[in-house]
């Protein structure tokens, strides 16, 4: 009945707010893609606990993440938005995939190397080591054609494809081989205080990132104190004027006005004028999303119902794939 191809992507509930980079670099694409795909969007709480999490914070951040996605346009009637731990098939398939992954193969994942180095090898968990294998399970359960992710996830997607091909050749065709849909660089947003580094929730200075959940005054203050340069001209020049270029790029991504048109309009104007207008543009784009997310957070029962419905939709497909996998590896069915 539904001829649209499947799509899956995931995000960790690891912060209390998404930032402008997550919004422009990922979420906007997810919202657009739900028109042409049967989309599954999963909030990966099992992945979040690969590093220590405070239980109360994890609970709040899981709901806040869901609320922001819905507020930004993920429509629970069109797409399945759900929490990973609500669909046990994720952990179950991950176990099977663990058993066909080589130790050396898993050891080559650069994200693990980076994160375990930061944590120190004694405090890095085995869960962090097998993180990419759980991610492969997230993906393969839904037989997606496309997986929209950032460049940093390319290696995990390659591993996912290798595992799918290995399983298919050992046990018979079970999984669709997914394509990585690497989201384009143009929407890369930089830190306002340190405009050569990408905007990131792990940034040293919170003033450098605009959060979706920030109030208007905070947004305005952060943009008005953005680092620029002393030259005084408003034009796109990433090498010599990263701060000004970042502001132009944020404006253009949100307002739809071309960079050329912005450069013309701001010719001869001071940075204060540019910052004022960028603040207005950001507030009018982000403000309604924040307000809607807060509204959703104030009715937790309704939010939990939406997530439960998402999980029910997800389980239909996930359980079907898992049943085929269990059968192929030789598990007998319970009576």
Count, in order, helices (H) and strands (E) of the chain. 15, 5
Tell the residue number behind the tokens 């957070």, with chain if given.
297
Q: Which candidate in 145, 188, 201, 207 is catalytic?
A: 201
CB of 294 to ligand LTN, least distance (A): 25
Q: Could you tell me which stretch among 29-37, 133-141, 244-252, 266-274 binds ligand LTN (CB under 6 A)?
A: 133-141
The binder of ligand ATP chosen from 78, 198, 313, 328 (CB under 6 A): 198
C-beta of 150 vs 276, nearer to ligand LTN: 150
Does 149 engage in binding with ligand ATP (CB under 6 A)? yes
> CA 189, 194, 199, 201: dihedral to nearest 10 degrees?
-170
CA–CA separation, 167 and 123 (whole Å): 32
Positions 168 through 197 that interact with ligand ATP (CB under 6 A): 187-189
Q: Which of 137, 156, 151 is nearest to 98 (CA)?
A: 137
Q: Are 233 and 55 in contact (CB under 8 A)?
A: no
CB of 93 to ligand ATP, least distance (A): 23
Q: Single out the residue of 139, 282, 296, 322 in contact with ligand LTN (rule: CB under 6 A).
A: 139
Q: What's 211's DSSP letter?
A: B
Contacts with ligand ATP: how many residues (CB under 6 A)? 17
Min dist CB 252 to ligand ATP, Å, is 14
Among the listed residues 217, 222, 229, 228, the one whose alpha carbon sits nearest the alpha carbon of residue 203: 222
Radius of gyration of the chain (CA): 21
Residue 96 or 180 having the CB closest to ligand ATP: 180
**Min separation Cβ 334 and ligand LTN, Å:** 29
Q: Does residue 198 carry a catalytic annotation?
A: yes
Residue of 48, 136, 124, 125 lying closest to 99 (CA atoms)? 136
Choice from 21, 132, 144, 243 touching ligand ATP (CB under 6 A): 21
Please identify which of the residues 78, 145, 188, 198 carries the catalytic annotation: 198
Interface residue with ligand ATP, options 10, 13, 25, 132 (CB under 6 A) = 25
Closer by beta carbon to ligand LTN, 135 or else 321: 135
Question: In whole angstroms, how close is the CB of 47 to ligand LTN at the nearest point?
Answer: 5
The backbone region for 268, taken as left when phi is positive above 0, alpha when psi lies in -120 to 50, beta otherwise, is left
* 178 alpha-carbon distance from chain centroid: 18
Do residues 226 and 32 touch, judged by C-beta distance below 8 A? no
User: Least distance in Å: CB of 46 to ligand LTN?
Assistant: 9
Burial grade of 23 (CB within 10 A; 0-12, 13-18, 19 or more)? buried
CA distance from start to end of the chain: 32
CA 218 to chain centre: 24
- 12 sits near ligand LTN (criterion: CB under 6 A): yes
Q: Quote the CA–CA distance of 264 and 158 in Å, as a whole number.
A: 44
Residue 64 interacts with ligand LTN (CB under 6 A)? no
Work out what residue 189 binds among ligand LTN, ligand ATP, none; the CB cut-off runs from 5 to 8 Å by kind. Answer: ligand ATP
State which residue, 10 or 21, has the beta carbon closest to ligand LTN. Answer: 10
Task: Please tell me whether residue 147 binds ligand LTN under the rule CB under 6 A.
Answer: yes
Does 235 participate in catalysis according to the annotation? no
- Residues lying near ligand ATP in the complex (CB under 6 A) are found at 11-12, 21-22, 24-26, 149-150, 187-189, 198-202
- Residues lying near ligand LTN in the complex (CB under 6 A) are found at 8-12, 44, 47, 135, 138-139, 147, 149, 153
Active site residues: 115, 198, 201
């Amino acid at each position: 009945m539904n001829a649209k191809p499947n799509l899956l992507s995931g995000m960790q509930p690891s912060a209390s707010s998404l930032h402008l980079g997550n919004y422009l670099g990922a979420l906007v694409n997810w919202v657009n893609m739900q028109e042409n795909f049967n989309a599954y969007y999963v909030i990966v709480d099992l992945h979040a606990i690969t590093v220590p999490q405070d239980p109360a914070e994890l609970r709040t951040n899981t709901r806040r993440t869901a609320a922001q996605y819905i507020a930004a346009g993920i429509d629970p009637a069109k797409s399945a938005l759900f929490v990973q731990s609500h669909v046990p098939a994720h952990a179950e398939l991950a176990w099977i995939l663990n058993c066909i992954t080589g130790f050396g193969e898993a050891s080559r994942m650069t994200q693990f190397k980076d994160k375990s180095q930061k944590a120190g090898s004694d405090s890095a968990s085995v869960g962090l080591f097998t993180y990419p294998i759980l991610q492969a399970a997230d993906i393969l359960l839904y037989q997606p054609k496309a997986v929209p992710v950032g460049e940093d996830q390319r290696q995990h997607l390659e591993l996912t494809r290798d595992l799918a091909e290995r399983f298919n050749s050992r046990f018979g065709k079970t999984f669709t081989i997914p394509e990585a849909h690497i989201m384009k660089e143009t929407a890369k947003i930089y830190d306002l205080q340190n405009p050569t580094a990408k905007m990131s929730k792990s940034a040293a200075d919170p003033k450098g990132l605009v959060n979706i959940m920030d109030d208007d005054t905070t947004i305005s203050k952060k943009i008005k104190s953005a680092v620029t340069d002393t030259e005084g001209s408003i034009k796109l020049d990433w090498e010599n004027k990263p701060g000004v270029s970042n502001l132009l790029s944020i404006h253009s991504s949100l307002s739809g006005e071309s960079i050329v048109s912005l450069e013309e309009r701001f010719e001869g104007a001071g940075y204060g004028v540019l910052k004022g207008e960028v603040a207005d543009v950001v507030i009018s784009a982000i403000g309604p999303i924040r307000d809607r997310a807060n509204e959703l957070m104030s009715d937790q029962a309704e939010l939990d119902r939406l997530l439960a419905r998402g999980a029910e939709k997800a389980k239909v497909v996930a359980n079907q794939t898992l049943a085929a996998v269990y059968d192929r590896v030789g598990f007998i069915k319970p009576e």
